[in-house]
Amino acid sequence: MGASLMIVEDDARIRDSLRLAMEDEGYEITEAEAAEVALEQLRVSGAPDVMIVDLMLGGMDGYTCIREIRRNHDVPIIVVSARDDTHDVVAALEAGADDFVTKPYQIKEITARLRALRRRARQTAELQATAELEVVLDADPAAPLVLLPERGILRRGEQELHLTLTEFRLLCELAETSGRVLSRGSLLERVWDRGFFGDERIVDVHIRRLRTKIERDPADPRIIVTVRGLGYRLDAQR
């Protein structure tokens, strides 16, 4: 059985073309013509392996749909939309999307992005099957921030913090090179598998989201530091 894919798109012609193309790629497809239908399917059947979500849906819009999905599910989400200005891209990523593709698009671009997302999911699963390792990101004695890459866990004290797949892999890459600067292009290549052909705004938005979850003061980050003109560096707090 192939990987499962849910397409959330209110235009029947686009939905049909995506379904036919993705079935040719071996995916098991479910469709939803509205955000509300997609959320109900997730509630009843659980999350698929990956999702494609349009932003301009009737009723609940795609941004709200993604935020609702993120309340309970880590499923990788690719946004497909005709809206392509910086505000729309950033808003979709901040809502919880993992990637953004602008209409019109080539089917091969969608399939390449899906393969990259699934490859990252497999790599994370394989990592979690190896021997346990703990990385202390913040040694605050009251509530230390500890990353367990092989178990897919980030803990502050006794509380487990929720990260999306992309956020978790981004944090792992920064932790693996702790003390060294990684450029946005390098992070794209390591996390999104697309090198300099990707949109570097994706990195900035995910870093911002990650900071809101791990920094004591996201407005004054000490763990993930911006090195102006170069990129980002993880500085473990001792």
Distance CA 63, CA 56 (A): 9
What would the DSSP string read from start to end of 111-130?
A: HHHHHHHHHHHHHHHHHHTS
Q: Which residues contact 192 (CB under 8 A, 6 or more apart)?
A: 99, 116, 166, 198, 202
130-234: CATH architecture: Orthogonal Bundle (1.10)
pLDDT at 154 over 80: yes
- Percent of the chain residues topping a pLDDT of 90: 53
C-alpha distances in Å from residue 161, one per residue of 17, 152, 155, 185, 215: 38, 10, 6, 27, 12
Residue (of 111, 131, 125, 129) closest to 52 by Cα position: 111
pTM over 0.85: no
* Comparison of pLDDT for 150 and 205, the residue scoring more: 205
Distance CA 233, CA 203 (A): 13
Helix, strand counts (H, E) of the chain? 8, 12
The sheet carrying 135-138 orders its strands as 135-138, 145-148, 153-156, 159-160
The CATH number fitting domain 4-124, selected from 3.40.50.300, 3.40.50.720, 3.40.50.1370, 3.40.50.2300: 3.40.50.2300
Which H or E run contains 232?
Answer: strand 231-234
Query: By three-state DSSP, how is residue 135 classified?
Result: strand
- 39-96 pLDDT, tens digit per residue, is 999 999 999 999 999 998 989 999 999 999 998 898 889 998 887 777 888 888 889 9
- 85-141 pLDDT, tens digit per residue, is 778 888 888 899 988 888 878 888 888 888 877 777 666 666 554 445 788 999 988
C-alpha distances in Å from residue 187, one per residue of 47, 98, 210: 27, 14, 14
In the chain, where the domains are located: 4-124, 130-234
Burial of 170 (0-12, 13-18, 19+ CB in 10 A): buried
